[in-house]
Structure 1
Amino acid sequence: MIPNPKFRLQGLMLASLVFIADQMVKFAMLGPLQLKERGVIHIVSFFDLRYAENRGVSMSFLTADSDGERWALVALTSVIAAGVGVWMWREKLRGDVLALSLVLGGALGNIVDRARYGYVVDYADLHFGAFRPFYIFNLADACISMGVLILLARAFLIGDKETGRGPDVQESASNADIVEKS
């Protein structure tokens, strides 16, 4: 099956939308809302805007403290993003293309931050009293996480009907056997 060019275009459009939205929100946080200077803006009892500089990747893993480490991290994450882009371009299933586009758009947003500032701007603080189920994050992080979760759910719950893998496919095959035997 040849990848559908329409899926590619939709994926590129969604990745672009995620990237632009992420950069616009970060601009608002640093510019008009002056979150860096203010530190925290209380929104509701379980959500604040809280300024944070993430010098690493997910959960501050691989923290880049020097300029050399920063650019190495930019290079590493750029290679990973390029791999996601190639995967998205070659992917045949629409749901996977759209999930990969969330990952790609988010990754590009964070790469631009790291190249521009030396860190990723984080601002979303979800909490329940003192309990924080997540580190402070941003829109790009949320899109990356959603894209990965969608890919995992599709891989484990739906499977690939073309290759005959996954619980949905096995159930369909069993039903087909029953129909043939009748």
Structure 2
Amino acid sequence: MTPALRTGILFALLLLAADQASKWWILEVVRLPEVRNIPVVMLGPLGLDLTMVWNRGVTFGLFSGEGSWNHLILAALALVVAGFLLRWLARAETRLVTYALGAVIGGAVANVIDRVRFGAVVDFVDAHAWGWHWYVFNLADAAIVCGVLALVADALIRPETQRKEAP
């Protein structure tokens, strides 16, 4: 096992555990499905609420369907993508890429766990500003988005001279 693979998997597992712990807290302690909405922070026009949403699709609710197999198909697709990302992780050239891939893998697997357990992903963070609400999300979603942004930044910013030559 390469050092990058070991580090990335450990980071993915830490994110997965934090995500699942936050969802347990939302469902079992806060009991957000019963409460529906809890305002948390309001700083002028900026706010953060806890709002319960069962996301049956993928990012931004795309491909949401009510079919009995829809959540399992989406879960299987996420696992296939995570498998390809693990292969990339084993050859990661920088710490940024290692942690970014770990974030995407950990977030994807965390949401797969939700799909298998509940048939949907538990989303609960509702950020808003000036009356405009972003899509409700969770820690796994944030990890995926940050990981993808880091991978894009690496691809755009890292000088070509720092990249390994293809064999």
Q: Same fold (TM over 0.5)?
A: yes
Aligned twin of 1:156:
156
Aligned twin of 2:75:
74
Alpha-carbon spacing, 1:61–1:159, altered in 2? closer, same or farther (3 Å): farther
Aligned twin of 1:116:
117
- Unpaired runs of at least 5, structure 2: none
Q: Whole-Å Cα distance in 2 between the matches of residues 129 and 52 of structure 1?
A: 21
Please give the secondary structure, in 1, of the residue aligned with 2:53: strand
Alpha-carbon spacing, 1:159–1:92, altered in 2? closer, same or farther (3 Å): same
Q: CA deviation at 1:163?
A: 4.5
Q: CA deviation at 1:105?
A: 0.4
Q: CA deviation at 1:129?
A: 3.7
Q: Whole-Å Cα distance in 1 between the matches of residues 19 and 138 of structure 2?
A: 8
Q: Whole-Å Cα distance in 1 between the matches of residues 82 and 60 of structure 2?
A: 18
- Unpaired runs of at least 5, structure 1: 165-182
Q: Whole-Å Cα distance in 2 between the matches of residues 17 and 123 of structure 1?
A: 20
User: Runs of 4+ in structure 1 displaced over 4 angstroms?
Assistant: none
Q: CA deviation at 1:64?
A: 2.8
Please give the secondary structure, in 1, of the residue aligned with 2:30: coil
The one-letter amino acid of 1:152's match is V
The one-letter amino acid of 2:31's match is Q
Aligned twin of 1:40:
37
Could you tell me whether the CA contact under 8 Å between 1:49 and 1:123 is conserved in 2? yes
Identity score, percent? 35
Aligned twin of 1:174:
none
Q: CA deviation at 1:72?
A: 1.2
Aligned twin of 1:130:
131
- What root-mean-square deviation, in Å, do the aligned CA atoms of Structure 1 and Structure 2 show? 1.5
The one-letter amino acid of 1:144's match is I
Higher radius of gyration, 1 or 2: 1
Count of aligned positions: 160
Q: CA deviation at 1:14?
A: 0.5
The structure whose residues are more often strand, as a share, is 2
Identify the structure with bigger relative contact order (alpha carbons < 8 Å, sequence gap 6+): 2
Q: Deviations over 1:61-115 (max 9, x none)?
A: 1113111122111111111111112211222322211110000000010000011
Could you tell me whether the CA contact under 8 Å between 2:4 and 2:91 is conserved in 1? no
Q: Whole-Å Cα distance in 1 between the matches of residues 121 and 17 of structure 2?
A: 15
Please give the secondary structure, in 2, of the residue aligned with 1:91: coil
